[in-house]
Structure 1
């Protein structure tokens, strides 16, 4: 495939906006490595059952500025095809990862939905800006900013609107004759897919959404989302304790131990602190995916160190403390915590919506009170709280920026109802009836605004259905659009 290139003028460091200067050196290095080209395609290489190649692009940070004004960042995408199909003419399928703030999958073999997709498509696994190899915003790279406000002024460009702009940039360089492509959006990637339908539908051939139909009301819908999700979170807790009733006492004992420890918690290996409310964060991945219950149970199996010397004090094990931090992933993907509530904002501030909603339900989620009263301790779901920026070591440097983001009001629109009402792009969506992250009722409300959308509502899968379904979920959605599934 021919690689396009243009001459790109590098800006003098002092001519850049202040918040952009600190990334100038790394981007300058990217330009140097690419010899001034805006797209470089690497050679093909193999993993079992797949052929892969890497693509690097140089894109504007801010698409509203002219090319000469906008700072540049890099975007990485990996192309995947079935073995032997490198030179075949196949439609392109862009995969948009869930998040926000998580990179695209790194294939180690042809399996699951990816294997299914690669049979008939060139699959593009794009690292959304700020993740993976796309000018990653890490706990160390963000420290290059001189102030919290400068970081906020940079982060405002890392939402779904600019992810879609990046996708369009990539599409016009990759797809022959800049033709439309298909998009598969999982979770937050589905939110991006609906933004795509709103503002760049001409770039789309078909759209598949899996657990990813967003609320599209004006203002900040985060509060509505968390209020709608409280019920399912409670239900998942009850189901977990019904499956593993022995964990009721184990988790209660852990909460009591944490509460009675000096400072209200125990030190974490990274330098943070594990408190009762911090422990509840395990519900984010432990309660909402198909194998989460089992992983959570096995984690708590080793929460205590064995007492190998008679009379030794009982204590939480280093094994558990290390595993706890790995579960949360905030050290490797801090963008999730910083930007999570902003994905729901259009012209309004989130004002720590999850924290406010949890406060309204503290009778259910007060871990210390529940433990003292002998009740099961309920874990929380997909929520980010302000106190996390005190207790989690990786997030502490960004506390001020997080508070500024929570108060930021001038978020641009992410959806256009008028365009969605007139949609002509074929869309198929899997709506998971027991989804703890994307509420089924809110998803159905939005689906009613997308003309022509075909829905598959199922309780067979959880939010992780695309990953868990061994290709079945994607096959079902494709069948809805290619005539293999009846219209009624």
Structure 2
């Protein structure tokens, strides 16, 4: 079978397969084109390029089954277009990797498929070591597909070293623009048509940014969905750039989390002030990190990205600060931040291994508008509240920041320095395509269940509830039992609750 991808609008057409060589393009001049081989419906204009893509072994390869305790796994690799738009044959292809997971003994059973979309942007899917958490629960009923979203894991990964192959910032931006939710969804559909028997619709589980992708899926390819589960993943769906609204709301929650942290560990107020004063007073305004970057007062604040929003984050942060200073072994030796702390600081962050997160983060909120370093703009609205040097001099709590990317990070974080120019171009870019279709969501018919975490530091509760009101038929589970990491911390319970809501076994509101 030869699958056809059609781009354009203005006339209805029913097309699925034609016996054409892979990657060949057809130029349709007729206003209306039909075939009886399928009931799928697309749209195209007069004179629309159509690319035919085969289901040959060249596009999909799979490995042998292997095992971890209580699970069988099989690897799949798909050659997908970098650019799905019409006439983009010269853009080439990339590899997208997906891992199939079932309970041991169920390898050949006919099971419904569940696609897992990981949070991010830019993070790979989990690597199972055993049957545990939500995955164990899901495998009781499903054949789970763990997708490494394009650019992550084994899907033509975009790392600091691989991105360095781009010879100019302009070319890098042209490449990176294809790594948002719209193309992740197209990859998912590409895979579903080749992997799922009879190309049946599947269930999608989206965590955090994976939930954003799932809502994009609901907007543009609902025919591929049997049901959708969202955990901390309801995005803002307004037009333009919604990043300002997101960060303005998120800063309020970040302030609340800072207050909770210092109430838990009041001794850390003095410790953090000492660190900030030390960093501000040393030559150059900071100290060198093991990787070659620089730890500055503003850099210290980004520990809140992981320290304030996940279960156990408060404790990890506090114990890091316990070992911030080197002991004085020789009388008269200068006070120094320990190598232990500096190494722990870098290990806490993922920018070295995942520059895609820093480069693309604000773009996930953009549709036909630029972000213009939105987080930095909103931070400035808080005047001195997030000024670390001023807070330390006044002996008041130094507030950490949250899930925000700032332009100075491309100066201070070694792995990001080569991408500074590209980062500014991405912040200025205006022609981002749409990620959501509110009209489609208003008439949604796909069963959707969502966990909304009341104290979510990353996906604001009020914005999530506003989006939920635009998705017809959505079933909500609002809870303060879990933070943003609910699927990781209480996976079986969260998964069972959402599935129970879809199946009518659990109450919902």
Instruction: Output the TM-score relative to the length of structure 2.
Output: 0.89
Shift of 1:71: 1.2
Mapped contact 1:96–1:186 kept (Cα < 8 A): yes
Matches of residues 148-187 of structure 1 in structure 2 within 5 Å? 148-187=169-208
Deviations 1:111-132 (A, max 9, x none): 1011111111011000000011
Contact 2:137 2:492 survives alignment (8 Å): yes
1:373 to 373, 376, 394: 394
- Which of residues 470, 477, 492 in structure 2 aligns to 1:456? 477
Q: Deviations over 1:339-392 (max 9, x none)?
A: 000000000000000000001113210000000001010000000000000000
Q: Residues 273-422 of structure 1 correspond to what in structure 2 (within 5 A)?
A: 273-422=294-443
Q: Work out whether residues 236 and 242 of structure 2, in 8 Å CA contact, stay in contact via their aligned partners in 1.
A: yes
1:316-343 CA distances to partner (integer Å, 9 max, x unpaired)? 0011111111111111000000000000
Q: Does 1:220 align with 2:241?
A: yes
Where 2:306 maps in the other structure, the secondary structure is helix
1:182-201 equivalences under 5 Å are 182-201=203-222
Residues 487 and 460 of structure 1: is their aligned pair in 2 closer, same or farther, counting only changes over 3 Å? closer
For residues 130 and 324 of structure 2, what CA distance do their matches in structure 1 show? Answer: 34
> Any idea what SS the aligned residue of 1:88 has?
coil
Structure-2 separation of matches of 1:432 and 1:65 = 40
Higher-RCO chain (CA-CA 8 Å, sequence separation at least 6): 1
CA-to-aligned-CA distance 1:26-83 (integer Å, 9 cap, x gap): xxxxxxxx99610011011111111111000000011113474441000000011111
Checking the alignment, whether the CA contact within 8 Å between 1:138 and 1:333 is kept in structure 2 is yes
Identify the residue that residue 207 of structure 1 maps to in structure 2: 228
| Cα distance in 2, alignment partners of residues 444 and 88 from structure 1 | 39
**Structure 2: distance between partners of 1:368 and 1:129:** 40
Deviations 1:381-438 (A, max 9, x none): 0000000000000000000000000000000000000000000000000000000000
Counterpart in the other structure of 2:120: 99
1:90 and 1:120 in contact (8 A); partners too: yes
1:80 has 2:101 as partner: yes
Q: 1:286 to 1:263 in 2, by over 3 A?
A: same
Greater Rg by CA: 2
1:125–1:247 CA distance, 2 compared to 1 (3 A): same
Report the TM-score, using the length of structure 1 for normalisation.
Answer: 0.93
What are the ranges of 5 or more consecutive residues in structure 1 without an aligned counterpart?
Answer: 1-5, 11-33
Report what 2:31 is aligned to: none
| SS of alignment partner, residue 213 of structure 1 | coil
Within 2, Cα distance between the matches of 1:257 and 1:363? Answer: 19
Classify the secondary structure of the residue corresponding to 1:253: helix
SS at match of 1:190: helix
The separation in 2 between residues aligned to 1:342 and 1:413, in whole angstroms, is 11
Q: CA deviation at 1:101?
A: 0.6
Mapped pair 1:486 → 2:507: yes
Match of 1:28 in 2: none
In the alignment, the residues of structure 2 paired with residue 163 and residue 333 of structure 1 have an alpha-carbon distance, to the nearest angstrom, of 17
Q: In the alignment, is the contact (CA less than 8 A) between 2:477 and 2:508 conserved in 1?
A: no
Q: CA RMSD in A?
A: 1.7
Displacement of 1:302:
1.0
CA distance change for structure 1 residues 7 and 258 in 2, over 3 Å: closer, same or farther? farther
